[in-house]
Amino acid sequence: METAGKEEISVEDEAVDKTIFKDCSNIAFYRRQKQQFSKNTYRALLDSVTTGKDSTKFQIINEVTKIPLLAEVYGIERNIFRLKINEETPLKPRYEVPDVLTCKPNTVSLISCSGDTGSLLLADGERDLKCHILANPFKIELISEKEVVISINSLGQLYFEHLQIPRKQRATTEKQEEGSADASQESQEDLGLWEEKFGNFVDVKANGPTSIGLDFSLHGFEHLYGIPQHAESHRLKNTKDGDAYRLYNLDIYGYQIYSKTGIYGSVPYLLAHKLGRTIGIFWLNASETLVEINTEPEVEYTFTQMGPTAAKQKVRPRTDVCWMSESGIIDVFLLTGPTPSDVFKQYSYLTGTQCMPPLFSLGYHQCRWNYDDEQDVKAVDAGFDEHDIPYDVMWLDIEHTEGKRYFTWDKKRFPNPKRMQELLRNKKRKLVVISDPHVKVDPEYSVYAKAKEQGFFVRNPEGGNFEGICWPGLSSYLDFTNPKVREWYSGLFAFSAYQESTDILFVWNDMNEPSVFKGPELTMQKNAIHHGGWEHRELHNIYGLYQQMSTAEGLTQRSKGKERPFVLSRSFFAGSQKYGAVWTGDNTAEWSYLKISLPMLLTLSITGISFCGADVGGFIGNPEAELLVRWYQAGAYQPFFRGHATMNTKRREPWLFGEEHTQFIRKAIRERYTLLPYLYSLFYHAHVASKPVMRPLWVEFHDELEAFGIEDEYMLGSALLVHPVTEPKATMIDVFLPGPNEIWYDSKTFAHWEGGCTVKIPVALDSIPVFQRGGSVVPIKTTIGKSTGWMANSPYGLRIALSTKGSAVGELYLDDGHSFQYLHQKQFLHRKFSFCSNVLINSCADEKGHYPSKCVVEQILVLGFRKKPSSVITHSSDGKDQPVAFTYCARTCTLSLEKLSLNVDADWQVHVK
């Protein structure tokens, strides 16, 4: 045991041969379901229908086995339907995912309307939606405006494997009967019914096969998005046999791009969009899941008839989606929109909105594996100041601990962690440290000893603590599915428990898929046992969410509920947005990884996780200077902005690539800090109104077909269009500017274009194309500090881009940036800026909020102002008028007002005459 614990673990344990990960052909439940699809027929027993307060229940029977299932249909407020299918009388309860739904959803009564003998029609009394249940074969249609939007089981792919008595518990005679009736032993092994082999591993299944599956046909839809996390295009692709999208959280170092292999996190939720409607399917299941997609495009048939006339008939496109999970029950929510914004709200009603981040976490983060010691931290921190580059957070990876024992410090490298934190505090900066879910097996290590004593580790099937290899060597894994473990773990972040920690220390949860070196697919064996006796297979994909939940709660508790936490997690599930940020994991310093990061982040954003980013520069390898510059420029316009690199890579602090490249990186990071008021306001809207911060074009321009497939540019909020440069040595790039009635302004040159076309934009290495949408007002900071903390009272500017009608509107959200007082005491400021008929008005957007601010608006820049004004006058709420000096440029049609002193929290007007 002791030798295993001392085994030297290196990055090579994570960087492994990709063949140790399964493809679909290696997954037994996938093979079983594919073999059975043509043989399964289910019939709904409509004479068994019962209507309760919350749901309508009925039996479904398999025509071959005659074993009944119980189906429940729920109408849920906000245009949501829920379908649950479970065994009617299981041998024991099947796993149902807890802790993801924010509360029990409020149901609405479904009224039974007339249906013929073979069907049942349920209508939501308040709305146009109807649910049509057909008996034989069993099928459900969701109807809106007399049109079928979604049909369920129309392909007959409902699949449900019932729990079985473990073989060792069966009587001998029963075994003999089974032997004669069942398929051959060879066939049983191939189907992986009771045991599944992969490489040197054998997965023993105590309850036999338990997989489920169901198909959904989406009528009129060809564009589907969602189901992260894959290093794939934003628009979901058709899957061929054996090439399904896999949702199974895995630690894949330097993952392959354009692959449907599941990586660090899973959100079993997809959206479909067409002209006039957006819908969503949320498949609430935390076991290994596969998703097959097949689109039948629109077809136009011509029927030649007798005589001279010919009739034409169009068949609408249809996309079939089949979900298959290894275990659990069928529990699916159908979000019926009809707009993208409605679907976002429906999903967050179920799983929660993005938590409001502390302002510092929207600044720039500097990380590597590892900063060597306190002197190294001090030198890097000073380097940012010497080179006039703002940053907010220093990060420490696993080497800061004593032998990879989390919640400790290496006494040689970090002899005085409090002094180091005080150095950062004096610069108004923060520290983030890593805390992984594995715990070094060491009786002298108090975290291990206490967890072992209280039975807080995941167990192996024999009843002992599960042990696997990770960074510390032999490790046990905390069972975060147990509420008592989460409560205890949260307590470890208390200042009294976490020695030498201070209130500027925040946390990074890594390796929480969970990663187990030398385990099957580098993760935990599926028959490990969790709280409640559940096997790991039931809940694998939610493990990481539970650690992030517990960490966020710990950081909140240590401040007695006053301060917002910041927690970055590598693994995630539906609902992770409530607890912090995620990132795209161990990417590589290559142009192709910069390019794929855009669709990866867009997919996370539309599935509820707004606070996301990719490691700037690429975690693995050494980026060339041009790539690093381009990555900083992209990252500056993305929600989570962190530079990171693995050990054994060359140092790559922003000033190490020559003065010219330092200048470009400085410019990109400073532009990020300039935009913080706009970004923070966007996060407030994500928090209260479920709007993604980073948006694919189709979300803003949902009636523009050309926007549906674009993934190399995106909207930051509704006002800025960003097109990162993802190819080397680029001098000219094509930018699609959406919206035939829109006008777009180059944020650098102020040149303007009409929308609805593609334009060629020259690019140099100093910047990337960013356009402001006509009709928007973007609040900015006019002076940049060393970190966000230095900018609290610095002045604001307004960038006003006029629409074709000469108007614009925008907002500013402001609070203290760190506490929960915005929520509990309504201490916030929410202002609205509107420019119309040559008058700019600053008014209150939410009367409930009150937050005194010393800040002033000192600059106003108006783009698209066609004529030089004769005068500009400010009009304050106390009735005082004051003339203002202005500059007008006829060539760029810009009006610039400077040296203003307009209180941001007061009502005022600016009249342009």
Catalytic residue among 521, 538, 586, 858: 586
Under DSSP, the state recorded for 899 is S
| Amino acid of residue 87 | E
- Name the 3-class secondary structure at 352: coil
Is the Cα dihedral 34, 40, 46, 50 positive or negative?
negative
| Amino acid of residue 343 | V
The angle subtended at Cα 564 by Cα 403 and Cα 777, nearest 5°, is 125
User: How far is residue 13's CA from residue 729's CA, in Å, rounded to a whole number?
Assistant: 36
What are phi and psi for residue 257, nearest 5 degrees?
A: -95, 160
User: How far is residue 284's CA from residue 55's CA, in Å, rounded to a whole number?
Assistant: 18
User: Helical H runs in 265-309?
Assistant: none
User: How far is residue 571's CA from residue 585's CA, in Å, rounded to a whole number?
Assistant: 9
Query: Is 513 an annotated catalytic residue?
Result: yes
User: How far is residue 864's CA from residue 803's CA, in Å, rounded to a whole number?
Assistant: 8
- Strands 714-716 and 694-695 come out as antiparallel
What are phi and psi for residue 446, nearest 5 degrees?
A: -60, -35
| Amino acid of residue 899 | K
> Which residues have C-beta within 8 Å of that of residue 619, sequence separation ≥ 6?
585, 586, 587, 588, 589, 644, 645, 646
Identify the residue whose tokens are 């392959």: 256
User: How far is residue 774's CA from residue 286's CA, in Å, rounded to a whole number?
Assistant: 44
User: How far is residue 778's CA from residue 801's CA, in Å, rounded to a whole number?
Assistant: 8
User: How far is residue 487's CA from residue 470's CA, in Å, rounded to a whole number?
Assistant: 24
User: How far is residue 248's CA from residue 267's CA, in Å, rounded to a whole number?
Assistant: 10
User: How far is residue 611's CA from residue 676's CA, in Å, rounded to a whole number?
Assistant: 14
User: What is the b/e burial string over 220-250, where b = at least 16 CB atoms within 10 angstroms of the residue's CB?
Assistant: bbbbbbbbbbbbbbbbbeebeeebbbbbbbb
Dump strand ranges (E) for 309-375.
310-315, 318-325, 330-335, 365-366
Under DSSP, the state recorded for 892 is T
User: Helical H runs in 785-852?
Assistant: 821-824
Under DSSP, the state recorded for 248 is -
Using a 10 angstrom Cβ sphere, with 0-12 exposed, 13-18 middle and 19 or more buried, the burial of residue 403 is middle
Q: At what angle do helices 543-558 and 483-491 cross, to 10 degrees?
A: 40
Query: Is 510 an annotated catalytic residue?
Result: yes
Query: Is 734 an annotated catalytic residue?
Result: no
User: Helical H runs in 587-724?
Assistant: 591-606, 625-635, 659-674, 676-689, 697-700
User: How far is residue 465's CA from residue 457's CA, in Å, rounded to a whole number?
Assistant: 6
CB atoms within 10 A of CB 412: 8
Q: Provide the CB-side half-sphere exposure for 309 (13 A, CA).
A: 2
- Strands 365-366 and 393-396 come out as parallel
Residue by residue, DSSP assigns 369-384 as TT--SHHHHHHHHHHH
- Name the 3-class secondary structure at 686: helix
CB atoms within 10 A of CB 897: 23
Catalytic residue among 510, 538, 615, 811: 510
Token duo for residue 911 = 């009249």
User: How far is residue 141's CA from residue 153's CA, in Å, rounded to a whole number?
Assistant: 9
Residue by residue, DSSP assigns 69-80 as EEEEEEEETTTE
What are phi and psi for residue 282, nearest 5 degrees?
A: -115, 110
Catalytic residue among 513, 535, 538, 553: 513
Active site residues: 510, 513, 586
